[in-house]
Amino acid sequence: MAEKEDPEKLDVLLVRPKAASMGVFKAIGASQPPINLVYLATWLNVHGFRAAIYDLEVQPAGGLRRKLGYSAPLLVGLTGMTTDIPAIKELCLLCRELKIKTVVGGAHATALPAETLEDALCDHVIIGEGEKPLLELVTALKKGADFSSIAGLAFLRGGAPVLNARGEPLDIDSLPIPDRKLLDKELYSSGYTTPGVPAGGTVMFTSRGCPYRCSFCASQVINGPRVRLRGMDKVLREVDEIAALGYKHITVDDDTFALKKSRVLEFSAHLSRNYPGLTWNCDARAGELDEEMLAAMKASGCRNIAVGAESGSQRVLDGIN
């Protein structure tokens, strides 16, 4: 018997396209859950809207048209890297056919908003982090109200791009803990990832932003020039929720998790004390790490620290810059 489709209508469907940018990993099935979309959908839901996620990395392409048909969202939100723009364009054309508005966000859209409007054939682009402008856009569309003054929103007027300046950065402690039940965790339970990062885990952030100015990195394009840290009480509550949901591994996806030693030690102590079977990994800058931190991280289940050693060749470094 065919699975009965959920007839609930949606205000927003957030879609991750099938990426063209993962290289060899794509051939062997690796895919991390799209936690950025989970943050956005949770944010919309706690503000009274109905939002859901469709992940084309792990869900069938044919199911998306059916989902759009029976859920009839006001808006479809899309994100992706530069190499994903052709796939995003196809999805925008599908939505246009179904008379559904589209918005595109992420690093490429933020760096090149006018080009994204043209290349992806979308209705709107969000410049920078998405929570506030997305909420304001959905509110306007629901009411049939004007959206032209929304900070961080780009759109076409008379065929010409209008690029609104960004608003103030979000207080990230105002974000709810992401509702991971919006995803089917079993869809991410297989496939190779990287050493020390088993499939079937989840992703979390304890901060947004990075204090460093690497010329090749998109972090400051999205998050701005300063680091915003979540309160550790909320970080540890999220760890508790993750463990309660049965996840066995966490990827801490901060740009550089070891920025403040006291936070790393508190995080590590919480895992050591409460979740000895839980493993985790993170990114860090080599100069931030010391023996005390590394010992605490290892004892608490840290299995992988990605350090950005771009090259040992000054010639290559000069070329990157």
Whether pLDDT at 190 is above 50: yes
Strands (E), 44-106: 51-55, 75-79, 101-105
Q: How many CB atoms lie within 10 A of CB 140?
A: 16
pLDDT tens for each residue of 3-32:
454 557 999 999 999 876 555 445 444 578
Give the mean pLDDT of 300-311: 86
CB neighbour list of residue 87: distance below 8 Å, 6 or more residues apart: 17, 18, 19, 20, 80
Whole-prediction pTM value? Answer: 0.90
pLDDT tens for each residue of 202-220:
999 999 988 887 777 777 7
* CATH topology classification for 193-307: Transcription Regulator spoIIAA (3.30.750)
Q: Is 13 helix (H, G, I), strand (E, B) or coil?
A: strand
Asked if 117 and 161 count as a contact pair (C-beta separation under 8 A), the reply is yes
What string of H, E and C letters represents the secondary structure of 183-235? CCHHHHCCCCCECCECCCCEEECCEECCCCCCCCCCHHHHHCCCCEECCHHHH
Helices 131-143 and 35-46 sit at what angle, rounded to 10 degrees?
50
Tell me how far apart the alpha carbons of residues 112 and 203 are, in angstroms, rounded to a whole number. Answer: 27
pLDDT tens for each residue of 109-135:
999 999 999 999 999 999 999 999 999
End-to-end CA distance of the chain: 58
Give the mean pLDDT of 79-98: 95
Give the mean pLDDT of 230-257: 96
Give the mean pLDDT of 304-315: 81
Asked if 108 and 78 count as a contact pair (C-beta separation under 8 A), the reply is no
78-116 in b/e burial notation, b at 16+ Cβ within 10 A? bbbbbebbebbbebbebbeeeebbbbbbbbbbbebbeeb
Asked if 126 and 104 count as a contact pair (C-beta separation under 8 A), the reply is yes
pLDDT tens for each residue of 128-168:
999 999 999 999 999 999 999 999 999 999 999 999 999 99
Residue 14's φ and ψ, nearest 5 degrees, are -95, 130
Whether pLDDT at 93 is above 70: yes
At residue 191 the predicted structure's pLDDT band, cuts being 50, 70 and 90, is low
Whether pLDDT at 193 is above 70: no
Token pair of 47, please? 């503000």
CB neighbour list of residue 242: distance below 8 Å, 6 or more residues apart: 180, 202, 204, 250
Give domain limits for the chain. 12-163, 193-307
Q: How many CB atoms lie within 10 A of CB 204?
A: 24
At residue 224 the predicted structure's pLDDT band, cuts being 50, 70 and 90, is confident
pLDDT, averaged across the chain = 90
Q: So what's the pLDDT on residue 28?
A: 46
Nearest to 72 by CA among 145, 153, 6, 139: 6
Q: So what's the pLDDT on residue 3?
A: 45
Q: Is 18 helix (H, G, I), strand (E, B) or coil?
A: coil
CATH match of 12-163 with 3.50.50.60? no
